[in-house]
């Protein structure tokens, strides 16, 4: 049986020490919000799968790292609510979960 435990990355170490969401996770969400924001409806819709892919690219990590930190990194509703967004998360199946940001 092979050992599946791998060395910790600097990003993982920082998250474990601080319990904080890395800035690059917020940067990813901010980019997606800006890209999908409609001035007419005053809302943006971000697909969770798009957020995961952009987070992986920004942090140079794989899906496993995002999954390990998933609740902490993807549960961003409160952080965005504190700055004036109403955030509605719709959990779906097969990659169709999404966040609706209304502001």
Query: Would you kindly state where each structural domain of the chain is located, as residue ranges?
Result: 20-102
Using CA atoms, how far apart are residues 64 and 9, in angstroms rounded to an integer? Answer: 12
The torsion of the CA quartet 75, 17, 15, 26, rounded to 10 degrees, works out to 70
For the cut 60, the answer to whether the pLDDT of residue 1 exceeds it is no
At 21-56, the pLDDT tens digits run 889 999 999 999 999 999 999 999 999 999 999 999
pLDDT at 17: 59
Q: What is the mean pLDDT of residues 46-72?
A: 90
Using CA atoms, how far apart are residues 1 and 21, in angstroms rounded to an integer? Answer: 33
DSSP string, 9-28: PHHHHHHHHH-PPPHHHHHH
Query: Radius of gyration of the chain from Cα atoms?
Result: 15
Using CA atoms, how far apart are residues 95 and 77, in angstroms rounded to an integer? Answer: 19
16 band by pLDDT with thresholds 50, 70 and 90: low
Lowest mean per-residue pLDDT among 11-15, 36-40, 64-68, 91-95: 11-15
How is domain 20-102 classified at the architecture level of CATH? Orthogonal Bundle (1.10)
Specify the pairing of strand 43-47 against strand 98-102: antiparallel
* Mean pLDDT, rounded, of the chain: 87
């Amino acid at each position: 049986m092979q050992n599946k435990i791998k060395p910790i990355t600097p990003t993982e170490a920082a998250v474990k020490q601080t319990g904080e969401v890395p800035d690059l996770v917020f940067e990813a969400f901010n980019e997606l919000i800006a890209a999908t924001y409609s001035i007419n409806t005053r809302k943006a819709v971000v697909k969770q799968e798009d957020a995961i892919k952009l987070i992986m690219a920004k942090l140079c990590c794989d899906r496993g790292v995002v999954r390990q930190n998933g609740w902490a990194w993807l549960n961003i509703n409160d952080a965005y609510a504190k700055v004036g967004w109403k955030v509605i998360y719709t959990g779906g199946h097969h990659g169709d979960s999404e966040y609706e940001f209304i502001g």
